[in-house]
């Protein structure tokens, strides 16, 4: 019977999946989901909001926001934890406490530093949403109970989708950092 892959740090085991690699892969997965979701919101929903009547555009926003308010914090937190854990494991490998550290310049980061940057940029989506996007979201929530939405709703929806450009940038940076630290470094 063939041996199953398992998570362990035995360099002699051909079937072992190293914990740092597993964490990198999960970080790439969650940051990729975050990047894809924000990219979809920015590229596809913005023109749709403009073409739909105001009430239908708002209903679409309400539906998308209902999913995103749960999914994006989960993606951000799990991706941050994955990249952060991988950064820690690469910075402090088992038995390396007596090894001298090589200092590198900020523009040529080690894999562990790049993973830490990836974790930080993915986590930055959360405070960005709360601080920068929240005033627009609050105004959009205020019109939820109105039967006929005002014209300013389309402007708010356009602003909301434009705010996603920063979220796309942060999630793509995190995703790219995870890929580079896994494949290149």
User: For residue 116, is pLDDT > 80?
Assistant: yes
Q: Choose between 10 and 153: higher pLDDT.
A: 153
Q: Choose between 47 and 100: higher pLDDT.
A: 47
Number of structural domains the chain divides into: 1
pLDDT, position 83:
92
Examine residue 73 and state whether it is found in any structural domain, yes or no. Answer: yes
Provide the phi-psi class of 95: left if phi over 0, else alpha when psi is between -120 and 50, else beta: left
pLDDT, position 14:
56
User: For residue 1, is pLDDT > 50?
Assistant: no
Examine residue 81 and state whether it is found in any structural domain, yes or no. Answer: yes
User: For residue 5, is pLDDT > 90?
Assistant: no
Q: How far apart are CA 162 and CA 132, in angstroms?
A: 12
Examine residue 9 and state whether it is found in any structural domain, yes or no. Answer: no
Examine residue 99 and state whether it is found in any structural domain, yes or no. Answer: no
pLDDT, position 96:
44
Examine residue 68 and state whether it is found in any structural domain, yes or no. Answer: yes
pLDDT, position 98:
44
pLDDT (tens digit, 9 = 90+) per residue, 58-102?
999 999 999 999 999 999 999 999 999 988 887 766 544 444 555
pLDDT, position 4:
58
What average pLDDT does range 100-120 have in this prediction? Answer: 71
Q: How far apart are CA 57 and CA 46, in angstroms?
A: 10
- pTM greater than 0.85: no
Domain that holds residue 131: 17-93+107-183
pLDDT, position 97:
42
pLDDT, position 174:
94
Identify the residue whose tokens are 């929530």. Answer: 141
Name which of 90, 77, 180 is nearest 127 in CA terms: 77
Q: How far apart are CA 134 and CA 142, in angstroms?
A: 12
Identify the residue whose tokens are 């562990």. Answer: 112
Q: How far apart are CA 173 and CA 171, in angstroms?
A: 5
Examine residue 6 and state whether it is found in any structural domain, yes or no. Answer: no
- Pick from 7-16, 32-41, 42-51, 62-71: least confident: 7-16
Q: Choose between 78 and 42: higher pLDDT.
A: 78
Examine residue 101 and state whether it is found in any structural domain, yes or no. Answer: no
pLDDT (tens digit, 9 = 90+) per residue, 141-163?
888 777 667 778 888 998 998 88
Examine residue 98 and state whether it is found in any structural domain, yes or no. Answer: no
pLDDT, position 126:
94
Contact of 20 with 177, CB cutoff 8 Å: no
Q: How far apart are CA 160 and CA 96, in angstroms?
A: 47
């Amino acid at each position: 019977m063939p041996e199953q892959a398992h998570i362990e740090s035995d360099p002699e085991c051909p079937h072992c999946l190293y914990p740092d690699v597993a964490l990198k892969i999960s970080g790439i997965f969650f940051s990729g989901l975050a990047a894809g979701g924000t990219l979809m919101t920015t590229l596809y929903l913005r023109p749709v909001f403009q073409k739909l009547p105001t009430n239908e555009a708002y209903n679409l926003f309400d539906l998308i926001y209902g999913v995103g308010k749960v999914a994006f914090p989960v993606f951000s937190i799990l991706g941050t934890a994955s990249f952060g854990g991988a950064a820690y494991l690469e910075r402090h490998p088992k038995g390396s406490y007596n090894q001298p550290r090589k200092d590198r310049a900020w523009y040529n980061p080690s894999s562990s530093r790049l993973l830490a940057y990836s974790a930080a940029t993915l986590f930055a989506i959360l405070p960005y949403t709360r601080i920068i996007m929240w005033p627009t979201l609050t105004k959009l929530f205020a019109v939820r109970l109105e039967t006929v939405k005002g014209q300013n709703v389309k402007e708010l929806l356009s602003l909301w989708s434009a705010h996603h450009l920063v979220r796309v940038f942060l999630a793509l940076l995190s995703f790219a950092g995870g890929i580079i630290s896994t494949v290149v470094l």
